[in-house]
Amino acid sequence: MTNRIGRRKFLTYGAAAAGGSLLLKSCAAPNSSETSSEAETEAAPSAEEADSDEPIRVGLLHSLSGTMAFSETAVVDAEKMAIAEINQAGGVLGQQIVAILEDGASDWPTFAEKVERLIDEDKVAAVFGGWTTASRKAMLPIVESKQHLLWYPVQFEGQECSQNIFYAGAAPNQQIEPAVDWLFVNKGQQFFLVTSDDMFPQSADFITVNTLVREQLEAKGGEAVGETSLPLGSAEVAPIISQIKTALPEGGVIFNSLQGDSNVAFFKQLKGAGLGPDQYPVMSVSIAEEEVRVIGTEFLKGHYAAWNYFQTVETPENEKFVSAFKGRYGEGRFTNDPMESAYTMIYLWKQAVEQAGTTDIAAVRAAAYGQTFAAPEGNVTMNPNHHLSKTARIGQVRDDGLFDIVWSTDAPVEPQPWSKYVPENKGFACDWSDPEKGRRFKA
């Protein structure tokens, strides 16, 4: 297990934050070698106990180091911007928001440790965090046992519906399933599946992206001619390239759910082996504008990604979002789907707190149902299954590193956490507004 990160950041964004300034306080995290005088001694008041002029504390828990920092640091930037905007506009219930920033370090036991610390020691009103399924699965039993709330910003494989998590990213029917359908019609019916093995202890009912794609292809009459997984953070992709050549000698679709910086080696070696997008189009579900910028447009041009948001979405809200982000962090920065979802979920939480009139967890959870927000991607709505209605989109990487949107749904898609392509989950739904239905019921 990774050792506890030695420094933590308490971020307060006041009215001046929109201009780029902020108050930053760091303090040493206690460990077994510290004396009580060296450890943090200031008790963090709960939001319910605070006076009206006391701030509301929230936790931001992402990987700021390790293999997933490649993707997650940009998500934190979007969350900071949302908090700064809200504080500048007067805060929540007349109180400013203080964000306590923690590093999950791309290590799943560390995520569990840090989320427990944020809840028990810092008394945060909510936790916003995670990217990988492993990080979410590590936090899930903690937030459930403590009856707290985690807001999770990234698309995932579904087959989960927790009363203590709000899922701001895509459910499978809002990303994976439309991507497979589009590829099947436009690019071919033979797929090679590549995914990350995040080394999280998996229960017998754990469903991977590869499983979902394979089941959907079988139902449509297509074929997964090969599949493989790569340890999270590994750059040993040469064997995968060889497997793809063998399984698809005449070309075919590559469905890519690699996460983190494994994608750097994968796309560079794919191009080096001559497997270009004309003959071997790659559809990614964890590669967005920020990753394209880091990997290099020359390695990704012509390949595809499925998301609910791209920087090229044409809405007034997105124009404002992109302008504000670039104004805050620099013209060379891009926005992407997980960043937009993270930004959106902060505002949805704010709205739920204001409707509830309190930061009490149960009250906020109930108030979140039905919340709508004019997000940069378009209108979103929080459903009683704790997932958002979202528009599905497919983009193709172009010369400037952005995406041309080549397909989208006409309206937001209602989320289905339980996949109709997984036999044991077909026909099931989730509804936390009705205690007799809850996590999983036959619809």
Q: Residue range 177-193: average pLDDT?
A: 97
Phi, psi (deg, nearest 5) at residue 58: -130, 155
Are 278 and 420 in the same domain?
A: yes
Provide the pLDDT for residue 156: 93
More confident residue, 14 or 300: 300
- Domain-located, residue 313: no
Asked whether residue 437 is assigned to any structural domain, the reply reads no
Is residue 76 assigned to a domain? yes
Query: Is the predicted pLDDT of residue 133 greater than 70, yes or no?
Result: yes
Closest CA to 155 of 440, 439, 426, 415: 415
43 vs 16, 90, 118, 183, CA distance in Å? 26, 25, 12, 54
Alpha-carbon distances, residue 306 vs 91, 124, 167, 404 (angstroms) = 34, 33, 17, 12
Q: CA neighbours within 13 Å on the CB side: how many for 309?
A: 34
Is residue 187 domain-shared with residue 261, that is, in the same domain?
yes
| Contact in structure between 198 and 107 (CB atoms under 8 Å) | no
Residues 287/263, Cβ–Cβ less than 8 Å: yes
Q: 212-232: per-residue pLDDT in tens?
A: 999 999 999 999 999 998 888
Task: Please tell me the predicted confidence (pLDDT) of residue 70.
Answer: 85
Q: Is the pLDDT of residue 421 over 80?
A: yes
pLDDT of residue 51: 47
Number of domains comprising the chain? 2
pLDDT at residue number 259? 86
How confident is the model over 388-409, as a mean pLDDT? 98
In the three-class reduction of DSSP (H, G, I as helix; E, B as strand; rest coil), residue 174 is classed as helix
Scored b (16 or more CB within 10 A) or e, 1-33 reads ebebbeebebbbbeeebbeeebeeeeeebbeee
Q: Are residues 376 and 257 in the same domain?
A: no
Q: Using pLDDT thresholds of 50, 70 and 90, give the confidence band for residue 273.
A: very high
Q: Is residue 326 part of a domain?
A: yes
In a shared domain, residues 199 and 252: yes
The verdict on 157 and 90 lying in the same domain is yes
pLDDT for 333: 95
133 CB neighbour count, 10 Å cutoff: 24
- CA geometry: angle 406, 175, 154, nearest 5 deg: 115
First CA to last CA distance, the chain: 41
Same-domain check for residues 326 and 365: yes
Query: What integer pLDDT is reported at residue 242 of this predicted model?
Result: 96
> Are residues 165 and 90 part of one domain?
yes
Residues ≥6 apart with Cβ < 8 Å to 42 = none
Closest-CA residue to 101 (of 37, 13, 31): 13
Residues 106 and 190 in one domain: no
Binned at pLDDT 50, 70 and 90, residue 350 comes out as very high
Q: Is residue 435 part of a domain?
A: no
When pLDDT is cut at 50, 70 and 90, the band that residue 10 belongs to is low
Query: What tokens does 340 get?
Result: 């937009």
Q: Is 410 exposed, middle or buried (0-12, 13-18, 19+ CB in 10 A)?
A: exposed
- Euclidean distance between CA atoms 398 and 301, whole angstroms: 5
Q: Are 403 and 396 in contact (CB under 8 A)?
A: yes
Q: In the predicted model, is pLDDT for residue 210 greater than 70?
A: yes
The reply to whether 242 falls in a domain is yes
Residues 55 and 11 in one domain: yes
Structure confidence at residue 435 (pLDDT): 86
Within this chain, do residues 237 and 179 fall inside the same structural domain, yes or no? yes
Rounded mean pLDDT of 243-270?
A: 94
Q: What is the mean pLDDT of the chain?
A: 88
Q: What is the pLDDT of residue 260?
A: 84
pLDDT tier for residue 53 given thresholds of 50, 70 and 90: confident
Cα gap 80→28, rounded to integer Å: 22
Looking at residue 310, its pLDDT comes to: 98
pLDDT beyond 90 at 138: yes
Closest CA relative to residue 192, chosen from 258, 286, 288, 268: 258
pLDDT over threshold 70, residue 9: no
Confidence check: pLDDT of 352 > 80: yes
* Mean pLDDT for the stretch of residues 28-57: 43
Looking at the predicted structure, is the pLDDT value of residue 15 above 80? no
Instruction: Decide if 315 is inside a domain.
Output: no
Percent of the chain with pLDDT over 90: 81
Average pLDDT over residues 273-295: 95
Q: Which two tokens stand for residue 142?
A: 């903690």
Flag whether pLDDT at 42 surpasses 90: no
Which DSSP symbol is given to 240? H
How confident is the model over 375-399, as a mean pLDDT?
A: 98
Tell me if residue 397 falls in helix, strand or coil.
strand
Domain extent at residue 58? 7-171+322-391
For residue 59, being part of any structural domain is answered with: yes
pLDDT in tens, 64-96: 999 999 899 999 999 999 999 999 999 999 999
CATH number at residue 330: 3.40.50.2300
Is the CB of residue 217 less than 8 Å from the CB of residue 223?
A: yes
Kindly state the tokens that stand for 210: 């590869």
Confidence of residue 29 (pLDDT cuts 50, 70, 90): very low
Q: Name the DSSP class of 207.
A: -
- Helices 176-186 and 209-220 sit at what angle, rounded to 10 degrees? 40
Per-residue pLDDT at 276 exceeds 80 = yes
Share of the chain residues as helix, strand and coil, in percent rounded to the nearest 5: 35, 25, 45
Q: Which residues contact 323 (CB under 8 A, 6 or more apart)?
A: none
Domain limit, last residue, from 391, 413, 433? 391
pLDDT of residue 368 exceeding 90, the answer is yes
- Residues 119 and 233 occupy one common structural domain: no
Asked if the model's pLDDT at residue 201 lies above 70, the reply is no
Q: Is the pLDDT of residue 26 over 90?
A: no
Which residue do the tokens 């990753």 mark?
A: 291
More confident residue, 201 or 122: 122
Confidence of residue 198 (pLDDT cuts 50, 70, 90): low
pLDDT higher than 50, residue 36: no
Q: Are residues 195 and 140 in the same domain?
A: no
